[in-house]
Amino acid sequence: MKKKDSLALAVFLLLGNIAMSSAQENTGDQDRFFISAQLRSRGEYRNGALIPRNEGESPAGFINERARLTLGYERKKLSLRFSAQHVGVWGQDALVDKNGRFILNEAWAGLELSDSWLVQLGRQALVYDDERILGGLDWNVAGRYHDALKIVFHKNGHQLHGIFAFNQNDEYVSGGTFYDSSKTKLYKNMQTLWYHYDFDTTPLGISVLAMNLGQEGGDAATRTSDTQYMQTVGTHLKFNPGSWNLSGSFYYQTGKNASARSVSAYMGSIRALYHINKTWSVNAGTDYLSGSKSPDGTYKAFNPLYGTHHKFYGAMDYFYASDFRNGYAPGLSDTQVGIGYKASAAVSMGLNYHYFATGVKLDGMKRSLGSEFDYQLDWKIMKDVSLSVGYSVMLGTSTMDVVKGGDHRSWQDWGWVSLNINPQIFVK
């Protein structure tokens, strides 16, 4: 492990010991300290996941792992959260490792200014609504976290969040504010307002989001900054009467992207799930994300930004979790149906079908991209231990070959097994 990583780990553990001692010595009932841990290992067989494979290419296989330790402290008007993790693939590190990848994935403080106002500052997950625009990306071994200031107002069922961020690569002495996002894939600055209200008399919830995203469009060689601003506005609705779970989202984007092209794009989704009984459920839905045909003029391809795309556009992550190739931005039409079965309180499974097509018709190509079948089994072995198994198949088309690569005549499948151990070690 690197010297700086060793130092960070030592400080992290020291803070935990200090917080634990403080919690044990404090006799007030307002103070709470907890430690939780997570060890999540996932083995994958990839024979066409993320990117379709070409004929003759051999499948890949690996085991990745997340090891996470979380410290939390809460008292009246103050809360702290520190979470450290090491992620990687089995065998990636030497038996004697001097180059560890220990990081603080969460480090934030929350200050309660009054009964209605809260400020949260630091590295934190931003998870809103169904995670289409802002999501935690927990499927990824590392997750997703933002350095941000969040201001919260809540009263009588109303919630209003203001989120503000300003990113730089280092503590520069001079040279302006150019931000190189080539490695981070982040925005230069961001301002977001989110409002949510749950109705008392009906099982209806409504959210409204407005985001202003500043993306660096300047020149890295000369460090000349040219920030381009794109706006995303929209709403998310959920309605859960009786055995039904209904939801819908609509978002529109305008402004300019990082390439300084004017943007006019949109997306819409509708989902319905019906619980037939305690054992069986069925679901159906459709998503549409607008696409762009031309490399010139107004950019019409919707960007789902920092959402958890794995939840929506097929488990094999062909869309938005991985890029289209050769500059294509065709958008996406995703029609899906599925069935769920709960064998017991501990065991459940689901089978979902997706039919994919491009959002716009590309010259000389059909819109159809193919069909995907996703199966998943979840088993809660004990209170804080769970096992999940999944298997997916993609039946692509010639259009898929053009916009994503690979050969649709090749068999494309993916399988995985994940063991998640997530105990709460200490609560005071």
Task: Give the tens place of pLDDT for each residue, 169-187.
Answer: 999 999 899 999 988 889 9
CA-wise closest residue to 291 among 304, 276, 281, 278: 304
Q: What is the CA radius of gyration of the chain?
A: 23
For residue 97, the model assigns a pLDDT of 80
For residue 183, the model assigns a pLDDT of 84
Question: Would the pLDDT of 10 be above 70?
Answer: no
| Banded pLDDT at 91 (limits 50, 70, 90) | very high
For residue 93, the model assigns a pLDDT of 86
Question: Would the pLDDT of 48 be above 70?
Answer: yes
The per-residue pLDDT of the chain, averaged, comes to 93
For residue 214, the model assigns a pLDDT of 98
For residue 294, the model assigns a pLDDT of 85
Rounded average pLDDT over 307-322: 97
For residue 302, the model assigns a pLDDT of 98
Beta-bridged to residue 140, according to DSSP, are: none
- For residue 374, report the phi and psi dihedrals to the nearest 5 degrees: -125, 125
For residue 30, the model assigns a pLDDT of 76
User: What is d(CA 66, CA 49) in angstroms, rounded to the nearest whole number?
Assistant: 20
Q: Is 20 helix (H, G, I), strand (E, B) or coil?
A: helix
For residue 12, the model assigns a pLDDT of 54
Question: Would the pLDDT of 4 be above 80?
Answer: no
Question: Would the pLDDT of 2 be above 70?
Answer: no
For residue 27, the model assigns a pLDDT of 42
| Banded pLDDT at 113 (limits 50, 70, 90) | very high
User: What is d(CA 421, CA 67) in angstroms, rounded to the nearest whole number?
Assistant: 10
Q: Over the stretch 233-260, which tens digit does the pLDDT of each residue have? A: 999 999 999 999 999 999 999 999 999 9
Count of all residues that appear for the chain in the document: 428
Q: Over the stretch 68-86, which tens digit does the pLDDT of each residue have? A: 999 999 999 999 999 999 9
Give yes or no for a contact between 312 and 334, defined as CB atoms under 8 angstroms apart: yes
- For residue 14, report the phi and psi dihedrals to the nearest 5 degrees: -60, -45
Q: Is 18 helix (H, G, I), strand (E, B) or coil?
A: helix
For residue 13, the model assigns a pLDDT of 54
User: How would you classify residue 131: left for phi > 0, otherwise alpha for psi between -120 and 50, otherwise beta?
Assistant: left
Q: Specify the DSSP element, H or E, that contains 68.
A: strand 60-75
Question: Would the pLDDT of 145 be above 60?
Answer: yes
| Banded pLDDT at 21 (limits 50, 70, 90) | low
For the chain, give the percent of residues with pLDDT over 90: 87
